[in-house]
Amino acid sequence: MHSTPTNETCPLSPPAVPAMAAPDALTGVRDFQRHTAPLLRPELARLAREGQSPSQLFITCADSRMIPNVITNSGPGELFTVRNIGNLVPPTADDSVFAAVEYAVDVLNVRHVTVCGHSGCGAMQSLLHGAHRRDGRAGTPLTRWLRHGQDSLHRVRHTPARFHGRSPSTDPLERLCLTNVVQQLDNLLAHPSVARRTELGTIRLTGLYFELTTAQTYVWSPGNRGFLPVHPGADAAA
């Protein structure tokens, strides 16, 4: 990794502890019980009675800056969410991710599967710096997990994804973050349930990219071979 890693670019190194620690989880739970729980209680009670029926499987990064329900303007029961380091869908069977895909597709019968990557992804930065090759064949759980991103590394060298209407980025991290989304969409098709439903036309795969610095979301357009900005209004992208 970098000789002077930062929290934004190097997930293998923890951030420096701030002078004043952030509130712990229990503090937030108390605030939730006081202010938010009364507002959500009727809807959650309904979902408890009727069960969940989300329309979308949403696969995104575990990065704390990613906020799936805010980005998608969705509430309880609307997203079946999988979060992991680097929003990866392993090209070979991984019980954790593939179990979630199988459950969402075959049991919950979702109609959409979305992979959402983001700018400044620490997992992608680690791949660029060879973290997946560390510690020999054994490695650590994290370095072994990052090996699932090697297809994205290969793809970015030959067919990097880009923003539609722009020249390919000169930033290797941005190129990889974008390309990784497209690669994971391809990896999803290795799942038999997804492949079958895609052939039947009963499920749709979508790639999203969230730019942290601007809070702008982009959607992958295979026809345009690039990511288009999502704009407010009737049209999803322009």
Strand ranges (E), the chain: 56-61, 79-84, 112-118, 204-211, 216-221, 226-229
Instruction: Say how many CA atoms lie within 13 Å of 141 toward its Cβ.
Output: 2
116 a catalytic residue: no
Helix (H, G, I), strand (E, B), or coil: what is residue 59?
strand
Asked about 63 being catalytic, the answer comes back as: yes
Q: Which of 10, 118, 132, 177 is catalytic?
A: 118
Do the beta carbons of residue 117 and residue 89 sit within 8 Å? Answer: no
118 catalytic per annotation: yes
Q: For this structure, is 177 an active site residue?
A: no
The catalytically annotated residue of 10, 116, 121, 177 is: 121
The terminus-to-terminus CA distance of the chain in angstroms comes to 37
162 is catalytic: no
Name the H helices within 72-204.
95-102, 122-128, 141-146, 150-158, 172-188, 192-200
208 with 181: CB under 8 angstroms?
yes
Catalytic residues: 61, 63, 65, 118, 121
